[in-house]
Homo-oligomer: A and B are copies of this chain.
Amino acid sequence: MKTPLRIGIAGLGTVGAGVLKVLETHADLLEMRSGQRIVVTAVSARSRSRDRGVDLSTVRWYEDAVALASDPDVDVVVELIGGSEGIARDLVVTALENGKHVVTANKALLAHHGNELAALAERRGVALALEAAVAGGIPVIKGLREGLAANAIKEVHGILNGTCNYILTEMRETGREFGDVLAEAQKLGYAESDPSFDIDGVDAAHKLAILTSVAFGCPVDFAAVHIEGIRHISALDIEYAKELGYRIKLLGIARRNNGGVEQRVHPAMVPIDSPIAAVDGVFNAVVADGDFVEKVTFVGRGAGAGPTASAVVADLLDVARGRIAPVFGVPSGRLARIHTASPEERRGAYYLRLMVVDRPGVIADVAAALRDENVSMEAFLQRGRAPGEAVPVVLTTHDTDEASIQRALTSLESLEAVLEQPRLIRIEQF
């Protein structure tokens, strides 16, 4: 009989406690599936007294998480501390250097240091497994790296941040403004007290950078991700989106374009009948488009103790089964440096909302600014009249170059009758 696979877990917050729970609940099932008993031999966490619902009396405790990486009775380190630097990074580096497998849910660490860490893991011949870092419980890393491995991927896009998707869904369903819904989400525990990582798109960008690498076989390049968050989305935009047949989602999109790959995180309008439009609340979704398989969609819970623990333990099973794959699908040394396509190279449709003074000639000026950049309008909405006051004017464009629409925006901003910064939301036809 095989000796047990010995696990050390660093970080016993919600997800860590979830991992303990899965390993305890399904000890026999997991052994049957992997052919090896999985046992927790060591943990590290701030509070030793907190009740995590699992008996930890026989487990070694470390004050210093990094010391866990040198425990001879640990085969696999599960890193659930988080953060791209500091303890989490030291722990992972030390564990890999010591020839221990690492399973992590840390997207920030991988987005910033994934390339060096992957190379280190390969040199040591150990796993660096990261299913839990992207889209929580959805097995999308495995799906891309193995399930769709027969394809060249043309595009991968998705809803990668449950907090933003929850806020946008609530805004749509209740008609309330962003700040109001955010405050409620914080109260309910769906948003952090400092929500900026989520609502400014940084978390989604971390995940997108990892997905891009796995999908296209290129090094992780977080700096290349164009990032816009959802703070500026107003109830008005959501209302107009409905009227125009769209929903607003914070999307991560990585797409082959002009021989390179563009990576973008921003709010986008998607047609109401596209599969991703129906993914609401805290759910995540990833759509991969392969040259043979065409579009495959994965939907599920992107966060939470159970779903994230499910992904962590799936990675542990892969380690137990001896399945150690190159982190990003191909050996680090063979990751192709693909040129980064600038978001300026995007071609697509746009939604524009202007607040203008309601007086004669304003619409003509707006139309002229667009015409001068060869931007052709598809729809134009102006309702009600309020002479001399501010009214919203909304328009959508036919496919146009991002550079053109940006130049048109600059002209529009300079018009005296345009009162606020115009709002631009990209339209994605999936």
Contacts and interface: CB of A to CB of B under 8 A. Distances in A.
Contacts of A54: none
Interface in A278-332: 278-279, 290-301, 306-307, 309-314, 316-318, 321, 323, 325, 329-331
A403 interface: no
Given A32-B217, A143-B139, A307-B293, A299 B317 contact: no
Nearest to A297: B299
Contacts of A383: none
Interface stretch (A2-10, A89-97, A149-157): A149-157
A334 interface: yes
A114 interface: no
A148 interface: yes
A294 B301 contact: yes
A310 B290 contact: yes
B300 A300 contact: no
A298 to B, nearest CB: 6
A21 B29 CA distance: 40
Contacts of A293: 137, 300-301, 306-307, 310-311
Contacts of A146: 139, 142, 314, 317-318
A18 interface: yes
A290 B291 CA distance: 31
A109 interface: no
A97 to B, nearest CB: 24
A317 B323 CA distance: 13
Contact of A151 (B143, B296, B299, B310): B310
Contact of A321 (B21, B138, B292, B325): B325
B147 A314 contact: yes
Given A296-B298, A299-B275, A33 B149 contact: yes
Q: Which of A34, A152, A279, A294 has the most chain B CB within a 10 Å cutoff?
A: A294
A363 interface: no
A322 to B, nearest CB: 8
Interface in A210-234: 217
Given A26-B150, A152-B29, A292 B309 contact: yes
A205 interface: no
A87 interface: no
A310 B148 contact: yes
Interface in A1-56: 18, 21-22, 25-26, 29-30, 32-35
B296 A150 contact: no
Nearest to A300: B296
Given A149-B33, A310-B151, A139 B317 contact: no
Given A33-B149, A321-B325, A297 B294 contact: no
A21 B151 CA distance: 11
Contacts of A151: 26, 310
Interface of A: 18, 21-22, 25-26, 29-30, 32-35, 131, 137-139, 142-143, 146-152, 217, 273, 275, 278-279, 290-301, 306-307, 309-314, 316-318, 321, 323, 325, 329-331, 334
Given A139-B296, A151-B310, A293-B301, 20 more contacts: A21-B292, A22-B150, A32-B334, A33-B330, A131-B147, A137-B290, A137-B296, A142-B143, A142-B146, A148-B314, A149-B313, A149-B314, A149-B317, A150-B316, A275-B275, A293-B300, A296-B298, A296-B299, A296-B300, A297-B298
Closest 10 CB pairs of A and B: A139-B147, A150-B313, A293-B310, A137-B293, A296-B300, A292-B306, A297-B299, A292-B310, A150-B310, A32-B330
